[in-house]
């Protein structure tokens, strides 16, 4: 069934040159998909309607049947807590415009399948753990990333509305925080895992006695290895045809304190951790109920956290000279 799904398909992967996108395109290649179009940021501004129309014009060249076009929308303007606090308006506008207009124009052109990627930041601040998809609307998201989370969540509303009114086949996938090789290790914009890996390795090389970490270490997070996420997105695209949102996660919840201690251990840093409690913690707990993905399209995460972390650390060490 899987192989048949991709036969004769052309696939647009927005954000295909990014962290998650690079793994999605690799996995598409392994599935035998050779007709992949990645609209790069230098050539297309996905917050601009005319550019979005141009993406679809270019994707449908040669009188290609739009019913055989698959769009996987990964592109997003993202960052950690610091970036979200400094640029809430940009994060709201860019992500909203990209998603809403791309899905709208895709429906107008008769695109066969649209996979929208949401974010765990869409969940309310005090969602009971583990987060169940039906709890998405029980409150307002955590303030530091609410503009981003809500902008992405509008694609869920749009997916449901366009399916109901037009029969448009779009799905909405909610991955938890991702990590892995090729992640963003830039300390200004990176998320917690790559930031801590880089800080621990560099602090160790300098012989620093202390490593400062934001918050108090109490919040919990769940992380999903990037290759598992890519596999989940493609499996859903192949097998899932409903606008009910679906979580993608590992089902493994870890405190930031335990995470930091694990990174210290795996990187060999010898100093001690110091918690900067003046800095925000973000959402208190985050862990997903991942049963719907298993039930609806037979996907579950395969890579253990310890193994995924070691692969990520090894990749960073091997590729440091290329990282800004």
Cβ-Cβ contacts under 8 Å for 164 (sequence gap 6 or more): none
Query: Which residue, among 71, 122, 114, 113, has the nearest Cα to 95 in the 3D structure?
Result: 122
Decide if 148 is catalytic. yes
Output the 3-class SS for the chain: CHHHHHCCCEEEEECCCCHHHHHHHHHHHHCCCCCEECCCCCCCCCCCHHHHHHHHHHHCCCCCCHHHEEEEECCCCCCCHHHHHHCHHHHHHHHHHHHHHHHHHHHHHCCCEEEEECCHHHCECCCCCCECHHHCCCCCECHHHHHHHHHHHHHHHHHHHHHHHHCCCEEEEEECEEECCCCCCCCCCCCHHHHHHHHHHHHHHHCCCEEEEECCCCCEEEEEEHHHHHHHHHHHHHHCCCCCCEEECCCCEEEHHHHHHHHHHHHCCCCEEEEECCCCCCCCCCCECCHHHHHHHCCCCCCCHHHHHHHHHHHHHHHHHHCC
Which of these is catalytic: 44, 93, 140, 148? 148
- Active-site residues: which are they? 148
């Amino acid at each position: 069934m899987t192989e048949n799904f991709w036969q004769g398909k052309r696939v647009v992967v927005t954000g295909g040159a990014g962290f998650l996108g690079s793994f999605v395109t690799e996995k598409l290649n392994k599935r035998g998909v050779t007709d992949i179009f990645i609209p790069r940021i230098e050539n297309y501004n996905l917050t601009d309607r005319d550019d979005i129309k141009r993406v679809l014009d270019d994707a449908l060249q040669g009188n290609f049947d739009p019913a055989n076009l698959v769009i996987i929308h990964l592109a997003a303007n993202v960052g950690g807590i610091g970036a979200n606090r400094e640029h809430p308006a940009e994060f709201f506008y860019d992500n909203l415009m990209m998603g809403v207009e791309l899905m709208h124009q895709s429906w107008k052109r008769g695109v066969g399948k649209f996979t929208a990627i949401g974010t765990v930041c869409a969940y309310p601040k005090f969602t009971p753990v583990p987060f169940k998809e039906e709890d998405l609307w029980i409150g307002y998201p955590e303030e530091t990333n609410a503009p981003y989370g809500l902008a992405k969540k509008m694609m869920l509303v749009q997916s449901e509305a366009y399916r109901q009114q037009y029969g448009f086949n779009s799905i909405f996938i909610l991955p938890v925080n991702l990590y892995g090789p090729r992640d963003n290790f830039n300390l200004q914009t990176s998320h917690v895992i790559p930031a801590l890996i880089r800080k621990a390795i560099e602090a160790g090389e300098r012989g620093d006695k202390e490593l400062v970490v934001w918050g108090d270490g109490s919040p919990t997070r769940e992380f999903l290895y990037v290759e598992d996420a890519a596999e989940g997105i493609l499996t859903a695209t192949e097998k899932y045809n409903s606008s009910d949102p679906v979580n993608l996660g590992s089902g493994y919840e870890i405190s930031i304190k335990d995470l930091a201690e694990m990174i210290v251990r795996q990187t060999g840093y010898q100093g001690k951790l110091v918690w900067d409690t003046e800095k925000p913690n973000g959402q208190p707990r985050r862990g997903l109920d991942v049963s719907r993905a298993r039930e609806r399209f037979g996907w579950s995460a395969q890579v253990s956290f310890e193994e995924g972390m070691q692969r990520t650390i090894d990749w960073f060490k091997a590729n440091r000279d290329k990282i800004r």
